[in-house]
Amino acid sequence: MEAEFVIVGAGSAGCAMAYRLAEAGKTVLVIEHGGSDMGPFIQMPAALSYPMNMKRYDWGYRSEPEPHLGGRRLACPRGKVIGGSSSINGMVYVRGHAMDYEHWEESGARGWSYADVLPYFKRMETWHHNGHGGDAAWRGKDGPLHVSRGPRQNPLFDAFVQAGRQAGYELTDDYNGEKQEGFGPMEQTVWNGRRWSAANAYLRPAQRSGKVRVIRALARRVVIEEGHATGVEISRGGRVEVIRAGREVVLTASSINSPKLLMLSGIGPGAHLAEHGIEVIADRPGVGQNLQDHLELYIQMAASQPITLFKHWNLFSKAMIGAQWLLTKRGMGASNQFESAAFIRSKPGVAYPDIQYHFLPIAVRYDGQAAAEGHGFQAHTGPMRSKSRGNVSLRSADPLADPVIRFNYMSHPEDWDDFRTCIRLTREIFGQEAFKPFVKHEIQPGAELQTDEQLDAFIAEHAESAYHPCGTCRMGAADDRHAVVDPEARVIGVKGLRVADSSIFPRITNGNLNAPSIMVGEKVSDLLLGKAPLARANEVPWMHPNWQVAQR
């Protein structure tokens, strides 16, 4: 079993790379532990709460008890299926803010500024504005990844945007274009009524080229001979074998499994590896460190009119929606229901948005539990740039053992201020005139919770991960002791090995991570092929003219 390139993980970045390498005529083997993504639970956008909670499609990771969240262990789903987490995510499409990438560049990831990455965001997408305006000049026209907007038929979607305007915030026609800041339509990776995962967009066409093969197996470690990665040791059907890479091995196994694989292969904090009896090949203290995520709260309101999705929250209605979707790929089943969004700044002096909103016309949790009140709606909100950092480490040298995941959520005192601000700003938005016809009362947190102490207790009990882990194989300058990969995504200290997924983000981007993860796969595929990077973009993103003195 041999190919020029061996990719570990058929997720967002891995599928994109397989496609670009095959397009250039290279042979690729993709190792994926999970199985087929063809069931309706994955392909139907509205069914998104199912695959995330199915052992069959998810690695099923949980954090260690979180000391600042009352010892709760939070779910950390990662896709174990063709398409990776792009097959089980919420399908929300956010590039991130231009300033995120300026920060990457400043922290040592040379060549990853916004001007460098925007051309890749354009290359990867085919954008459908569905008659809702937007910035065509900033968007892609012929990439494999279809990005669309929901129909926004429910009056609550517009009420949310109008309430933002009434509260004095900006509106934006396209948060993935010139202007992220403001209220407007949300975008989704949905095409022709189906989840447009990295598998549908990239992997299947790549397999049809005959250059890409997918092997269903568990990657145990990278084989390194005389400082050079030559292949990957896998187990399948009870046998251990080695798959050889003629040119390079690329880990695209997620911010949880990529550092785990590096450590199992002898690359990581020397003392930690020695503890587990693993021979140290490259002592890189940064492997598994710098773990970041987004936490969010669901701020829920009871509705005074029966216009929310709750009317469909019964078996008969779900069956009808499912049947309509199976037959026509239309109707309620064809959207993730996240159709309005907002990005705002928490206070004056913050240069670009640090709070995100997903608006949903039903009061429900990710695990599918509806609010007891019946008709309601909610905004998911949380700070985008928490200063808290965690880490991923080995539980044992056994490749089958789950890694130890410590997010260390809310360990920075500013996080508490930021979260209380999110709650209070959200209440103000729901208090605007546009919501007057629809709001009955606040379900969660509940209007009686007002003091800092009360809100802190609520946050500790109810904050949930937005499932955006990243940063554990941080990209930086080659002489940075704590960087894991250099700006070409090469693992520092080993030849022929790269990491190309959300684990290389120096800092978490503003928004959901699927789009930037795919962008990493696109950009690193050019580096693997020795191609000159795409010409830098000249577009200048919008910044709030009064950001220094005004919050809105």
Residues with a catalytic annotation lie at 468
Task: Return the number of other C-beta atoms located less than 10 Å from residue 320's C-beta.
Answer: 15
235 alpha-carbon distance from chain centroid: 28
* CB neighbourhood size of 242 (10 A): 15
Question: Which token pair is 17?
Answer: 């790379």
The angle subtended at Cα 501 by Cα 499 and Cα 507, nearest 5°, is: 105
- Candidates 402, 116, 377, 142; CA nearest to 254 is 402
DSSP symbol at 510: S
The answer to whether the beta carbons of residues 551 and 134 sit under 8 Å apart is no
- Rounded to whole angstroms, how far apart are CA atoms 140 and 122? 4
Largest distance between two CA atoms of the chain: 70
* 3-state SS assignment for residue 261: helix
For 313, the 3-state DSSP assignment is: coil
SS3 113: coil
Token pair belonging to 96: 């991130």
Could you give the CA distance from residue 241 to residue 233 in angstroms, rounded to a whole number? 6
CB–CB of 296/380 below 8 Å? yes
Task: For residue 16, list its beta bridge partners.
Answer: none
* 152 φ/ψ angles, rounded to the nearest 5 degrees: 55, 45
Task: Tell me which H or E stretch contains 456.
Answer: helix 452-462
Is omega for the bond preceding 403 within 30 degrees of 0, making it cis? no
The DSSP annotation for 138-207 comes to GS-SS-SEEEEE----SHHHHHHHHHHHHTT--B-S-TTTT--SEEEE-EESEETTEE--HIIIIIHHHH
Q: Is the dihedral of CA 37, 39, 40, 41 positive or negative?
A: negative
The vertex-336 CA angle with 330 and 337, nearest 5°, equals 95
Query: In angstroms, how far is CA 246 from the centroid of its own chain?
Result: 31
Q: Which amino acid is at 34?
A: G
What one-letter code names the amino acid at 329?
A: K
DSSP 8-class letter at 433: G
